[in-house]
Amino acid sequence: MEEMFEKRIPIAIVGLEQAGKTTLATRLQTGKFIQTITPTKGIDVETVEIKENLFQLFDLGGQKTLREMFWQTYVKLSQGIIFVIDSSDMSKLDEVVEWFWKCLEWNHNAPILILANKADLAHIEVDDLINKIKLDQVLQQNPQRSFRIFEVSMKKGTNLDEAIGWFSQKMMPILSQKKVRLRGIYLYLPTGIPIASHRFTSDASGEFDADMVPGFLYALDQFASGVIGPSEGLNTISTEQGYILTVKREGVMCAIVTDKESDPVTSRVIAESFLTYVESTFAKSISLLRQKGKLVFPKNLIVDFLKQEFAENVIF
Ligand SMILES: Nc1nc2c(ncn2[C@@H]2O[C@H](COP(=O)(O)OP(=O)(O)OP(=O)(O)O)[C@@H](O)[C@H]2O)c(=O)[nH]1
Ligand SMILES: [Mg+2]
C-alpha cells in the first residue's frame, strides 16, 4: 500500500521575473514545456516527485515587490534553493547578483542549484556569469555549501536532467538528522475552532487553555491580513523562546509550537504531513465538525501520528 503521508522537502525556486521559474515547476510536474500565460502573482506551491523523494516547490513570484514580500521567508524555510537566471537578458544582471547574494545570506546551508536558463537564445556564457556573480566567494561564506551552475533551456529541456539529478542527490534526506522539540500541536478549522491538540510541556505555556490557542492564532492571522494583506497560508511567528508555525489547508489548519533550537523546516514538514494525513483520513469528520459542530476524532491522534511517522525527529 502506498504511504498516505510522506515527508516533503521544501525547495524555494527564486529568480527575477521572466527567468523561467514557473516553466521549471511545470516541467518538473508534467515532464513537458508548457508556455506560462501570466507572471506568478505570489507563490505557487507544487509537490513533485523526483527520484522517489517528494519535494514541495515554492515557485515564488520574481517581480520586485514580490521578492521583497516573500523571498526571505521561503528561502529561510527551504532545504534547497533553485536560483533561475534568464541568461539571455544582460540588462538585469546587477539585480540578479544582488538578489542571489541576499538569498545566500538568508540561508547559509541549503544546497543551491543555479540555472542559467534560455540557452536556446543568444545568451551570456556560463564563465562570464560565474565571474559576474562572484561564485568563487560562495565557499568563503560556508565551506560546506553545495552549489553548482548549469546552463539549461527549460524550453528545449537541454541539460535539465543533469541539473536536477545533481540537485536531488544533494537533497537526499537531510531531514532525518534534524530534531524538533515540540511544545504543542494544535489542529483547528480555519475559523479558529479547535479540533485536537496535544501539549508536551507543563511550563508557562500550560497556563493557557489549549482550546484558546486556535482562536488566538485566527485573530492574529486576521489582524495580519488586515495590516499587511492576505497571506498565502504559511506563517512563522518567531520569538526568543521558539517558533509558532501555522500551516493552512483549505479545510483545516495546524499550528506547531517548538523551542528555538528546533529545526523550523522539519517542524513545517511535520505540520504539512500531519495535515495531509488528517485530510486523507478524517475528511468526513472534518466536514461533520464544520456542519454540526460534532467532534469525532481518536483521542491519541497526534501522538500516535508523531510516533509512527516522525519518531526519529521529535524529541518527546
Ligand atoms: N526561449 C526560452 N524561453 C523560455 C525558457 N524558459 C522560459 N521561457 C519563457 O520565458 C517566459 C517567462 O517564463 P516563466 O516561467 O513564466 O518565468 P517566471 O520566472 O516564473 O516569471 P515570474 O513568475 O514573473 O517571476 C515565458 O514566456 C516562458 O515561456 C527557455 O528556456 N527558453
Ligand atoms: Mg512564475
- What was the pLDDT predicted at 282? 81
Q: What is the pLDDT of residues 273-286, one digit of tens each?
A: 888 788 878 877 77
- pLDDT (0 to 100) of residue 312: 77
Number of the ligand closest to the Cα of 33: 1
Mutate to test the pocket of ligand 1, among 14, 16, 23 (most ligand atoms within 8 A of CB): 23
The secondary structure element, H or E, covering residue 18 is none
Written as nine digits, the cell of 89 is 537578458
The domain spans of the chain are 8-176, 178-315
Q: Is the pLDDT of residue 303 over 60?
A: yes
pLDDT at 296 over 60: yes
Q: Does the Cβ of 20 fall within 6 Å of ligand 1?
A: yes
64-68, 187-191, 204-208, 260-264: the lowest-pLDDT one? 204-208
Mean per-residue pLDDT, 74-86: 93
- pLDDT, tens only, 138-169: 988 888 788 999 999 999 999 999 999 899 88
pLDDT in tens, 16-62: 999 999 999 999 999 999 999 999 999 999 999 887 778 999 999 99
Look up the CATH architecture of domain 178-315: 2-Layer Sandwich (3.30)
Alpha helices in the chain (DSSP H): 21-30, 64-66, 72-77, 93-106, 126-133, 138-141, 160-170, 212-228, 264-281, 283-292, 301-309
pLDDT of residue 177: 66
Q: How far is CA 28 from CA 23, 202, 228, 313, in A?
A: 9, 45, 32, 28
DSSP string, 220-280: HHHHHHHHH----SEEEEE-SSEEEEEEE-SS-EEEEEEETTS-HHHHHHHHHHHHHHHHH
Model confidence pLDDT, tens digit, residues 172-204: 656 556 788 999 999 998 888 888 888 887 655
Q: What per-residue confidence (pLDDT) applies to 31?
A: 93
- C-alpha of residue 41 to centroid of ligand 1, in Å: 14
In CATH, the number for domain 8-176 is: 3.40.50.300
